Amino acid sequence: MKKIVCILLIAVLVLSLSAFLFGCGSGPRDEVLKLYMPGEYIDEEIFGLFEEWYEQETGKKVKVTIETFDTVEQIQLAVEGSQSDYDLLCPSDYMVEYLVNHNLVQKVDKTILDVTTEGLFLEEYLNAARQYDKTLEYSVPYMYGTLGLVYDITKTGKKITSWDSFFGDEFKGHRSLKDSVRDAYAAACIYNAREELMKVSGSVKKALIQTIFEKSDASTVEAAKQTLLKIKAKGDKWDVDDVKFKMAANAQDAPTIALMWSCDAGYVMNTYEDANGVDRDGNRNLWYVVPEEGGNVYIDNFVINKYAGNVTAANYFLKFLCRKDIALKNCEYAGCVSPLTEVYNELYAYYTEDEDGMFADKPENYTEEQWEDWKAMFIETMFPSEETLNRCGVMRDLKAGNTAVIDMYSDIQ
């Protein structure tokens, strides 16, 4: 008993000392802005620019700090489990809805930033955002993309159009499944409903795939589990962060086909910076597709944490992120596209007019027709057409089904 008490006292002293040291190092809480978001997803050079701008706007000083996470589910643990005082969180769509449903976020101050301001954001992405933030009061869209398949056409020998090329046996042993519970689950559910989905099109397909994205009953979860277990049984890989770099470098252990986000696919098709910070040429043999059965359009957002310690700076940072020059810097850094109207339009023109000469040199293994086809595919990857968006659903908070899906995924790991 004395030993236990002693250990507890030591733990309390260590925690107290840590709090004292970290508190002294960071300054008054209202002079610190804490971000919690995925790694390598924001240009940290903007932090100093924001600190100067914030002082000009408010007369107050602030220092931006950042901590990163690997999976969006870690936000739930940090906020709901630990009540961490991060000011701004960067969750995907379904996690925004979860946080709103559980009263874990605060409304954005509309006197500082109103995302519904006419023309500020593209309407198609605001409509998608209304799936998880009905009143658009809690979230500010940051980047968007789709979930689909990346493949090396020199290995497949053909264009890929269907989820069957991934979940079937054609490329068994040479596939990579993204190690993300919701992405893997969504892909498996689409594949399992492929026959029904292929019978419809347009708005009917969009509505049907949205229904599929929101199902988490026992039979649907079990069917997804069996589909994912088949991938594991064939000896295929579960995606780690460097799979896009392996495919880009055509490494010996690179998969032929992989479940991937469009932003990652586009990033390594163009000139990119690898995991070691070395600039590399993009791999023009990589192709990306949202399969014909359907896919996912995602929006990553910023939200203000319920337990934020500096709400004022958080609101001003959201406004700062929506500045065209700042958003462009973040898009260039992350290799993604913002749904801010002015930013989207400028980036679209930049790519389609080939301002950096990305499309100037045709690879030797492509005919002119094939090269034109590849260029069209790349533009579609970064700027999905209405046709593509019409076969994409938005991931939602599964409420009671969240636990069942997470438990299912844990069972097959």
| pLDDT level of residue 15 (50, 70, 90 thresholds) | very low
Percent of the chain at pLDDT > 70 equals: 93
| pLDDT level of residue 235 (50, 70, 90 thresholds) | confident
Segment 6-34 mean pLDDT? 53
- Whether residue 21 has pLDDT greater than 60: no
Segment 169-174 mean pLDDT? 94
| pLDDT level of residue 240 (50, 70, 90 thresholds) | low
- Whether residue 365 has pLDDT greater than 70: yes
Residue 170 confidence (pLDDT): 95
Average pLDDT, the chain: 91
Residue type at 265 in one-letter notation: A
Residue 3 confidence (pLDDT): 32
- Whether residue 250 has pLDDT greater than 60: yes
Lowest model confidence (mean pLDDT) among 152-161, 233-242, 312-321: 233-242
- Which residue has better confidence, 223 or 18? 223
| pLDDT level of residue 18 (50, 70, 90 thresholds) | very low
Task: Report pLDDT digits (tens) over 110-138.
Answer: 999 999 999 999 999 999 999 999 999 99
Angle, CA of 329, 334 and 335, to the nearest 5°: 100
Task: Report pLDDT digits (tens) over 190-234.
Answer: 999 999 999 999 889 999 999 999 999 999 999 999 999 998 888
Lowest model confidence (mean pLDDT) among 59-63, 98-102, 154-158, 408-412: 408-412
Segment 274-296 mean pLDDT? 94
Q: Which CATH superfamily is domain 145-298+358-412 in?
A: Periplasmic binding protein-like II (3.40.190.10)
In the chain, where are the structural domains located? 2-142+299-342, 145-298+358-412
**Which positions ≥6 away from 311 have C-beta within 8 Å?**
87, 106, 109, 304
Segment 378-399 mean pLDDT? 95
Residue 26 confidence (pLDDT): 57
* CATH no., domain 2-142+299-342: 3.40.190.10
- Whether residue 161 has pLDDT greater than 90: yes
Segment 269-281 mean pLDDT? 89
Segment 148-164 mean pLDDT? 97
The bridge status of strand 88-89 relative to strand 286-289 is: unpaired
Segment 48-74 mean pLDDT? 96
| pLDDT level of residue 271 (50, 70, 90 thresholds) | confident
| pLDDT level of residue 368 (50, 70, 90 thresholds) | very high
Segment 310-335 mean pLDDT? 97
Determine the Cα–Cα distance for residues 350 and 403; give it in Å rounded to an integer. Answer: 43
- Whether residue 25 has pLDDT greater than 80: no
Residue 400 confidence (pLDDT): 81
- Whether residue 27 has pLDDT greater than 90: no
Residue 241 confidence (pLDDT): 65
Segment 363-385 mean pLDDT? 97
Assess whether the region 2-142+299-342 and the region 145-298+358-412 belong to the same CATH fold: yes
Report the predicted TM-score, pTM, of the whole model to 2 decimal places: 0.90
